[in-house]
Structure formats: C-alpha cells, structure tokens
Structure 1
Amino acid sequence: MVEVRALTTDAVVELDGDVLLLERNHPPFEGLWVLPGGLVERNEPAREACARETKEEVGLDVSVGAFVGLYDDPDRDERGNVSVAYRCTPLGEQTPTPREEASRVETFDPENLPEMGFDHERIVTDALCERKHRFC
C-alpha cells in the first residue's frame, strides 16, 4: 500500500488545439513527456499552485479553468502523490520555454501523444472529454 505523501497539481494547457507537454529531466519518468505541474505548497490553494507551477516549469502565465479530476491511483506516482488537474489557458501571446525541470517543451496533437509519464495521458483524455461535454 502506498501512503499519500503530498498533493500535486497538473495543468492541461491547450495552444491552438494542441496540448503543451514538457520532457522531464529527472526521475521519476525521466525522459518522458508530462503535463506542467508540481507540489501544492502549505496554505496554497490548488488552483494557485497550478498557475505557479506552470509559470515555473514552462514560463507561461495561465488562467486556471475547469476542474478535470482528482487522480489518486496508488500506481500513478511511486512517491505516493495525489494530483488535482485543471484545464488552463495562456494569458496573451507567450512562448513556452523549458525551465529547470524540463529538457524540452513542445505541443502535441491530443490524438497523437508521445509516451507519457505518470497518468498524464489519462488526464489529457479526461480534459478533452470534459471540454466536449461528454464521458469517455
């Protein structure tokens, strides 16, 4: 049994219909593509953490929108973290750039995603289903 250690947040950022991903440069899932996100700090609302982590990881200021879901499968993260995910929209014209935790930042067609870490492919699928107002 995995003990929950921390709450994290993940941002599904769409740019011209594509999904923004970063390539992780450290474990777990080093070398795989993931959504921007990270730890929710003490006394920080999850929505604020989502915006902060997106800025820190890919350099984008975002508006945090619709709640996508809570992801708590014990196998999603070897560290025992649970994540809350949101759909996000960039504020104005910005160019995403890799920061400290990313080797690369790219956008991908949601119908043709690369190999992804954690349960982020599921999160993207859920976000797109929510956007289309249907269950998948």
Structure 2
Amino acid sequence: MLTQAPPVVCGACSYAIYVNPRPTGGVVLLRGSSFATEFLAIRRVRPPREGHWDLPSGFCDGFEHPASTAVREAREELGVEIELGDFTGMYIGMYEFQGESLPVLDCFWLATIAAGEITLDPAEASEYAWFRLDSPPEMAFRTMDAVLRDVMTSRSSVRLVR
C-alpha cells in the first residue's frame, strides 16, 4: 500500500513509483476518395464509455511499441490485417479505470485494410460503421475527436495506402 500519492519511494527498497501516462496505439482506418473519405468506428461494449463510438485502439503491452499495438488491436478487434500509413499524432487524454482518472498518451496512425473481412470481437464491440470524415459522431474519448479533426483538417495531404 502506498503511504502517499505518487511519486513515492519505498522506504524498504528505495523503488520509486510514479503515475506515468499509459501509452496506447490506435488507427484511423480509412477508405474512399479524398473528397468522400470515410473512417471506421466501432461501438464499445464495456466501460468506460460503453455504447459510444470508438476507434480501433488499445493499451500497449509491456515494452510494445505503439505502432505494433495499433496493428495488434486492429487484428484483435476487427479480425483484419492492416497497413499502417502516416503517424497522425500523439494526444494526451484521460481514461477512467477502477475509480481513477489515469493519464494516457494516445498514438494514432492512418491505416487501411490489407487483408481479411471485418469480423468484430464481441468482447470489444457490438457493431461497426463507416462515417464520413467531415461528419463524425461524438467519439468515446476526446483524443479521438481531436485526431479526427486533425485528419480532416489535413485531408488534402492524406494519402491512402493501397
């Protein structure tokens, strides 16, 4: 048990404990032309933000690069192989977990489906939909709203990977 809020140092072994942001990897999965670009969103089936639209993404495993996380999460959540395109950015956000607001560093890449048909993992999502980039729904997390705005703003330079 911690004797105070982090950062704190263990008196017995001198191990320092910090509350560092948790890294994530995710994708803005695109299809269509530059004038009618669509992105894929999935509907969350578990807290936090159950029932809201989400981008395929998740927390990095120990020592996993966020780009590898993005590819793994797309495979796990959608059942497809993806091809990563440009890195869109890293966004600082919050994630509610076990009664705490934890800081996160959400890293996103543009991506396209390279192989397979979408087959949702029912433990992750109840449905998926393609939305126009210029009229997205409210997303589960503010960082996702931000990355979609940024991709839309720079869409003239968005290059779809084929």
Structure holding more strand per residue:
2
Structure 1 counterpart of 2:127: 104
- CA positional deviation for 1:15: 2.2
* Residue from 130, 142, 146 that aligns with 1:122: 146
- In the aligned structure 2, how far is the partner of 1:26 from the partner of 1:95? 23
The corresponding residue for 1:6 is 22
Say which structure, 1 or 2, has more relative contact order (CA 8 Å, 6+ apart): 1
How far is 1:121 from its partner? 1.7
Q: Give the equivalent residue in structure 2 for 1:19.
A: 39
Give the share of equivalent positions with the same residue, in percent: 27
The code of the aligned residue for 1:15 comes to: R
Aligned partner of 1:95 among 117, 124, 139? 117
Runs of 4+ in 1 over 6 A off after TM superposition: none
- Structure number with greater Rg is 2
Deviations 1:2-61 (A, max 9, x none): x43411112000122210000000111110001000011112221111101011111121
Query: Structure 1 CA distance, aligned partners of 2:119 and 2:31?
Result: 14
Q: How does 1:51-62 map to 2 (within 5 A)?
A: 51-62=71-82
TM-score w.r.t. the length of structure 2 is: 0.72
Query: 1:38 aligned to 2:58?
Result: yes
TM-score, normalised by the number of residues in structure 1: 0.84
